[in-house]
Amino acid sequence: MLKPSTMKSICIPLIAATVWLCSCAEKKTETPVAETPAPAAVETPEVKDLPDSVKMQNWQAYMTPGDMHAMMASWDGKWVDSMTMWMAPGAPPEMHVTNSEIKSLMGGRYSTATHRGNMMGMDFEGLSTMAWDNQRKVFINTWIDNFGTGISVLEGPWDEATKTINLKGKMVDPSYGDGRMTDYRQVITLIDDKTQKFEMFSMGADGKEFKNMEIVSRRK
């Protein structure tokens, strides 16, 4: 058994150490800690409900074909497409002739075009759809063909002054083999009732845009 004097010699240093640790803890607690400011609250726009009658009117306006749909319907028919392609900036052009047929769908709300011909020694087949969104006020175009397995989607406005549809979107660049996407755009110019010009601009290896396709379509 420890003697009282020995206990005293042990306890006093322990008590002193405990007091010192507690005082340090208190001082540490008293030091203000900078708090990370809470992120600003994101205000959600108030969505006001509309009367059912107004909702129905809006829906009716959305589904009713208008002037842009009438313009698309005027393209119905068979066309001969004279195509010029450039595989890279400054590359010699490749010339092809294909045939297309445009038809209206669903009461004139959409337009579809089938394309057939021979390109680079292979049978070519493509299918496009065109829509005019009454509420968003943009054309939306989709494209598929037998030279790929994906779907490209583009959209853009109508320019009344230049009679052009200006579409932008992304497509897979299959030459890399890793599914990477590249930006491209299309300009469709309505020259007259029997003539249209299609231009496509893609990104070259240097990251700069170049014109890689032009198609002049003439109604049969």
- pLDDT tens readout for residues 88-120: 998 999 999 999 999 999 999 999 999 999 998
pLDDT tens digits, residue range 131-157?
Answer: 999 999 999 999 999 999 999 999 999
Note the pTM of the prediction, 2 decimals.
0.76
Each residue's pLDDT expressed in tens, for the chain with a length of 220 residues: 434 343 334 333 433 444 333 344 344 444 444 455 555 555 666 667 899 999 999 999 999 999 999 999 999 999 999 999 999 998 999 999 999 999 999 999 999 999 999 998 899 999 999 999 999 999 999 999 999 999 999 999 999 999 999 999 999 989 889 999 999 999 999 999 999 999 999 988 788 999 999 999 999 9
Quick one: three-class SS letters along the chain? CCCHHHHHHHHHHHHHHHHHHHHHHHHHHHCCCCCCCCCCCCCCCCCCCCCHHHHHHHHHHHHCCCHHHHHHHCCCEEEEEEEEECCCCCCCCEEEEEEEEEEEECCCCEEEEEEEEEECCEEEEEEEEEEEECCCCEEEEEEEECCCCCCEEEEECEECCCCEEEEEEEEECHHHCCCCEEEEEEEEEEEECCEEEEEEEEECCCCCEEEEEEEEEEEC
pLDDT of residue 64: 98
